[in-house]
Structure 1
Amino acid sequence: METRFARALIVLGGLVATLAATAPAHAQTRAQAQTQAEYVCRTPEAGVWINDMAEVRQIRRIEIESFCEGEGENVRAAVRMRAFTRCSPRDCKWGWQPAYRTAGGRLIARFPGFFGAREIQVIFMGRRIEALVTIDPHDPTEPDSYHAAILARE
């Protein structure tokens, strides 16, 4: 009886030792995979960008967020953008919209509105971005308008 019990303890001890040895390796590979996915999902434009020289109705602030969508091998970067124009007494928010990268490397987001749509193209320039804003009114008799702004990272 004692020998059976002793053998069972030895087998159980070996099993526990094996699990203990492989658990950190499994946890490490999971952590590495998560870190790699976060790296893939990070975009250089992510952050808060400010235009201190903005005039009324021009881009004052742009917030860009990047995050992962999907799981496993289907993980991909997703980006969203929020814009603010200079208004009085406080800046006007345009809300969050998905942003897409063009073949030329620009980020583009379209913001629908009551009187028209606005489109922002972001060109990354290291510590600054250039925002090209197109205002497309719904009224066909009104022409499109444009302005550009250089924003610095907050």
Structure 2
Amino acid sequence: MSGTPLSMPVRVLLAAAMSLSGVLVTAWLVWPEPTEAETIACFIEETGTWSNRHARTGDISRVQVESQCKGNKLVHRVRVLTKCAPRDCTWGWAAGAKKSGGRFVATFSTYSAYRYFQMEVTGNHALVSVTYDYHDERKEDEAASFRMVRDD
């Protein structure tokens, strides 16, 4: 061996460091993977992109639901697009909420109406209902429902 021999304290420190690194590697290798519940805890079944494959002009054509954990709270937002030409129109993003009974709801305030959105999911299908509460008192309020299919 060439070079200067290591003093006893340096050898002890080096051995301790190597031992510690071995413990850390072993701990990393045997650390349990998060359970499925922990992995999906920041998502709800509505999370994702949904499409209405039979949308006509003015119908809801696509719904995007995003969920994320902020601190120890689960927050959601939803964007609704309607079939328009030359591209789909959007109502923008609104905060969403999961209600008892499994309903997912949001309220969109647009230039012409309040739009009360409701979504109920069964597997890869969803029923989306919307009630239009028009700002113009001369226009009668409306309601519509659409069947959606999960894209992702």
With the shorter chain as reference, the TM-score category is 0.7 to 0.9
TM-score (norm 1): 0.81
Query: Is contact 1:37-1:68 (8 Å) kept?
Result: no
Distance in 2 (alpha carbons) for counterparts of 1:37 and 1:116: 39
Q: More displaced, 36-45 or 4-13?
A: 4-13
Residues 1:50 and 2:51 are matched in the alignment: yes
Aligned residue type for 2:69? C
Equivalence for 1:17: 19
Distance in 2 (alpha carbons) for counterparts of 1:89 and 1:146: 25
Distance in 2 (alpha carbons) for counterparts of 1:112 and 1:28: 51
Query: Is contact 1:119-1:133 (8 Å) kept?
Result: yes
Distance in 2 (alpha carbons) for counterparts of 1:111 and 1:53: 23
Query: Is contact 1:60-1:84 (8 Å) kept?
Result: yes
Gaps of at least 5 residues in structure 1 are: none
Aligned residue type for 2:123? G
What is the count of residue pairs matched by the alignment? 148
Equivalence for 2:40: 39
Equivalence for 2:113: 116
* Structure with the higher fraction of residues in helix conformation: 1
Deviation of the 1:15 alpha carbon: 3.8
TM-score (norm 2): 0.81
Distance 1:31 1:68, change over 3 A: farther
Deviation of the 1:11 alpha carbon: 3.6
Query: Is contact 1:38-1:68 (8 Å) kept?
Result: no
Identity across the alignment (%): 28
Once the two structures are superposed, the pairs formed by residues 115-134 of structure 1 within 5 Å of their partners are 115-134=112-131
Equivalence for 1:138: 135
Gaps of at least 5 residues in structure 2 are: 1-5
Aligned residue type for 2:115? R
Q: Secondary structure at the match of 1:13?
A: helix
Deviation of the 1:142 alpha carbon: 2.6
